């Protein structure tokens, strides 16, 4: 990273205040008269242009001065004695435009001081910095506004965003579990429960796109993490050369192909912090049936313990299906089996840019769908706010997290999960991309962790069975586990459901009309 905005700013900072510009003169002696005449005409033309530019510059300066005076009573931040107040932040403009050009010298020095103190950041010397030193140097071409660069730049404390999250209960509209054994021969009962969940939601708007992030808690102990994409697409000008990269979706506009990628950190502790990660690898199997002298093909699983960080790196392969589980080897079930949680990956996406090329260096975490590392306090995040501009020398390089290839058996483990999807925009993405089909999820499933499904303890379930199993013709009864109709407000016609079952119990269970097994 180039820690000064440009070589020009470096020179500016080294100049003493009020240094006069050097004056240069042009030697004209020895010229012939026509040459001198042409020279004089050129000088007058040049002087006229300079005067015109000076007048234009003066007009702009007056406009800027008026705007800055209207902006605040302090004249754009220059408040005299107030500037001596340590709590007052000088908002005056630097004298030379450049990257972050509306930062003051004091603010630039603070940024420089922060960067140089971090041993992980290899700052380049601004006097010799080139484009190859860092993509941050390219910022000199498009100066960034301070408001676009920092959050809460006008105060020392963090910024509070009101109503940024919401917590609510939601009925997903489908059962978390159900079963109907209709016939008497099957036991004649119904049991089911709706999937009512607790949702923790926030929405992130990044320029044109909105990402809705949900953390969903199910009553069977499953934690679901989901992200949905919406917002408006960022098009390009349509030309024939753009055909391989998107469809023309409007007059002169092409919807550019792009890739949404997300990286999640799951710090999972199962029965303590001494955990191990293993896969349950599904493999083809065959056994010989001696009675008929035939080979029977089936599927079995093999447990595979991952011992090091690099051994745990996972790239999805359709030919090698597997379960991913994490558990404490010292804690077993009553049957001596692993008491674990399973990681279910349901949003995997292939990153197609070759490793180490161009901006791919800024997203090494996208190379694998799952990575497992030993917990370290200084490896708390896989990227940095500077990732867009520092591909030559990333501030945070996720590949370094597992480069040392530490052992991960019976350690405090962190799981890094990558999800994504490619998007080739189409006209139905106008005016705003819908979320339908743009859901990416991963799950943390309890796996042999409970003795049975935790939702069995919920009063949200319902059970229907015969009043007298020995005489089904007496009808059925509905068990709501203490819930009343008032607890769950239903449409009026549903209030008559119990009466319907009383009149015709065969609606739900075989009672008076024998139909047999089906």
Over residues 197-233, the pLDDT tens digits come to 999 999 998 889 999 999 999 999 999 999 999 999 9
Q: How far apart are CA 307 and CA 416, in angstroms?
A: 17
Q: Which two structure tokens, joined as six digits, stand for 297?
A: 């093909």
In this prediction, residue 351 carries a pLDDT of 93
3-state secondary structure of 340: strand
Share of the chain above pLDDT 90, in %: 53
Which of 214, 264, 278 is closest to 414 using CA atoms?
Answer: 264
**CA dihedral sign, ordered 86, 90, 96, 98:** positive
**Exactly one of 190, 209, 264, 323 is catalytic; which is it?**
209
Q: How far apart are CA 442 and CA 345, in angstroms?
A: 5
In this prediction, residue 324 carries a pLDDT of 98
- The pLDDT mean for the chain works out to 78
Phi and psi of 11, rounded to 5°?
Answer: -65, -35
Q: Check residues 79 and 399 and name the one with the higher pLDDT.
A: 399
Beta carbons within 10 angstroms of residue 190's beta carbon: 17
In this prediction, residue 388 carries a pLDDT of 80
Which of 199, 165, 193, 196 is closest to 178 using CA atoms?
Answer: 193
Judge whether 209 counts as a catalytic residue. yes
3-state secondary structure of 272: coil
Q: What is the pTM of this model?
A: 0.69
Cα-atom radius of gyration of the chain, to the nearest Å? 34
**Exactly one of 70, 95, 118, 132 is catalytic; which is it?**
132
E-strand spans in 333-475? 338-346, 370-374, 413-423, 439-447, 462-466
Judge whether 285 counts as a catalytic residue. no
Q: Is the pLDDT of residue 116 over 70?
A: yes
| Cα 136 to chain centroid, rounded | 23
402 touches 367 (CB < 8 A): no
Beta carbons within 10 angstroms of residue 64's beta carbon: 12
């Amino acid at each position: 990273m180039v820690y000064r905005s440009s070589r020009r700013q470096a020179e500016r900072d080294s100049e003493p205040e009020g240094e006069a510009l050097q004056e240069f003169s042009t030697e004209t002696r020895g010229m012939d008269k026509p040459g001198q005449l042409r020279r004089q005409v050129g000088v007058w033309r040049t002087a006229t242009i300079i005067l015109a530019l000076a007048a234009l510059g003066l007009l702009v300066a007056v406009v800027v001065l008026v705007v800055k005076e209207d902006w605040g009573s302090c004249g754009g931040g220059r408040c005299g004695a107030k500037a001596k107040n340590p709590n007052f932040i000088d908002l005056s403009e630097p004298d030379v435009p450049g990257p972050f050009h509306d930062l003051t010298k004091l603010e630039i020095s603070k940024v420089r001081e922060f960067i140089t103190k971090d041993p992980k950041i290899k700052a380049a010397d601004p006097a010799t910095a080139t484009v190859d030193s860092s993509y941050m140097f390219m910022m000199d071409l498009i100066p960034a506004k301070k408001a676009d660069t920092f959050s809460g730049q006008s105060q020392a404390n963090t910024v509070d965003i009101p109503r940024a999250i919401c917590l609510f209960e939601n009925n997903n509209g489908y059962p978390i579990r159900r079963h109907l054994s209709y016939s008497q021969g099957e036991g004649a009962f119904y049991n089911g429960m709706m999937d009512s969940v607790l949702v923790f939601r926030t929405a992130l708007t990044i320029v044109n796109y909105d990402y809705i992030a949900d953390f969903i808690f199910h009553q069977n102990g499953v934690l679901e993490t989901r992200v949905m994409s919406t917002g408006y697409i960022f098009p390009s000008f349509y030309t024939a050369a753009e055909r391989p990269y998107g469809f023309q979706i409007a007059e002169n506009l092409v919807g550019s192909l792009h890739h949404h990628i997300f990286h999640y950190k799951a710090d999972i502790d199962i029965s303590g912090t001494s955990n191990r990660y293993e896969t349950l690898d599904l493999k083809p199997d065959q056994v010989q049936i001696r009675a008929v002298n035939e080979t029977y093909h089936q599927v079995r699983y093999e447990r595979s313990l991952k011992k090091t960080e690099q051994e745990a790196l996972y790239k999805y392969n359709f030919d090698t299906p597997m379960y991913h589980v994490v558990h404490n080897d010292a804690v077993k079930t009553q049957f001596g089996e692993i008491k674990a949680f399973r990681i279910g990956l349901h949003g995997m996406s292939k990153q197609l840019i070759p490793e180490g090329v161009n901006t791919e260096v800024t997203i090494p975490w996208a190379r694998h769908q799952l990575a497992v590392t030993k917990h370290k306090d200084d490896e708390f995040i896989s990227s940095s706010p500077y990732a867009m501009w520092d591909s030559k020398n990333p501030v945070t390089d996720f590949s370094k997290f597992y480069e040392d290839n530490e052992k991960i058996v019976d350690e405090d483990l962190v799981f890094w999960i990558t999800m994504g999807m490619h998007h080739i925009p189409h006209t139905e993405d106008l005016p705003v991309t819908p979320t339908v089909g743009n859901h990416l999820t991963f799950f943390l499933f309890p796996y042999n962790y409970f003795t049975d499904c935790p939702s069995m303890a919920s009063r949200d379930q319902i059970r229907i069975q015969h009043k007298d199993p020995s005489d089904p013709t007496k009808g059925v009864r509905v068990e709501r586990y203490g819930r009343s109709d008032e607890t769950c407000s239903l449409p009026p016609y549903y209030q008559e459901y119990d009466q319907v079952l009383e009149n015709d119990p065969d609606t739900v269970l075989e009672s008076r009309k024998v139909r047999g097994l089906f």
